[in-house]
Structure 1
Amino acid sequence: MQKKTLIALSAALMIGAAPAAIAQVGTTGEAGAGQAPGMQQPGTVMPLERMPPATIEAAPQIDTQATIDEERVRELLEARGVTDVEDLERGDDGFYTASATWYGEDVDLRIDGVSGVIVEPERLNEDQIAYVLEEEGFSEVSDIEREGEFYTATAERDDSEYRVRVDARTGAVIEEEEA
């Protein structure tokens, strides 16, 4: 195993991939089965604080300002049940803000500019849950209670009563059980 590691390190150095090679071959202090003392387990990455400074400087930098564009944000919001999006703007912090209607309620949104996830408001309210269930074909929605990251409610559909569980962040109906 040592011979293969040394050959891979030598080859990487020759082709200019020193930072990646050094990061992959760093030391851990304890040897694994068939591994020399001081060598890192295959497939693991050396912690940043243990990398030589030259390796850190040469490593590719991640663009923390890379964000999705406004059109993609609008698509993601629409898929989440958000309508009437107005004043969509990207702030200097990388987050988008907007005013919109989300499951029947006027809301001010804050959206992660990298993932498109709605970060504010954190979860839907009871009126929005009732709206979601009515959109799903339920009627007589009652007894809405939040339980952690979910809401439960009682609702009727097709002359039957159901106990329904809804994701508090997305409005997705997770479970429906005839009561």
Structure 2
Amino acid sequence: MTKVFTALALARLTVAGTAELDEPLAALLPGGTSVPSRDGQEITLRHLATHTSGLPRPPKGMLLQALLRPSKPDPYAGRTTEFLLRGPAGIRLGATPGRRFRYSNLGAGLLGSAPAWSPRRSGSAAGSNTGSIPSPGRISAGWGSVCILGRAPTSGSGTTG
């Protein structure tokens, strides 16, 4: 359910002009965050929203944990912002972004978090982390999706948060 709200929030931000579907993910994340590409194609917000980024389902190192502890209710509980941002580092994409559907919890988490660092969000500078994403605190279930749901678009769109 959280992924649906995250995609709807992206649509809202896009209509309000505070996000663009074809913005590269790397441009929205803090400097030094490693984001893979393939065949010269960068991962965009559109790729994350449509699960066509080529990113794997779980972040690196979580698959074995999930297999060994299948009864753990929420494997993402207690994960930090830093954990999320380290997720794409060193990953070889399974497909060129935009070419193939591949469900990705990692991609959904990054999509929910990326707009918080955008320089167009509420007039703040990129990386200022003035949104609801804790740093380096814990991330709630669904990772950063709440950060873009709880804020109203700017520029007189006529809607409220």
Q: For the superposition of Structure 1 and Structure 2, which TM-score range results when normalised by the shorter chain? A: under 0.3
| Greater share of strand | 1
Instruction: Give 1 or 2 for the bigger CA radius of gyration.
Output: 1
Q: Normalising to structure 2: TM-score of the pair?
A: 0.25
| Greater share of helix | 2
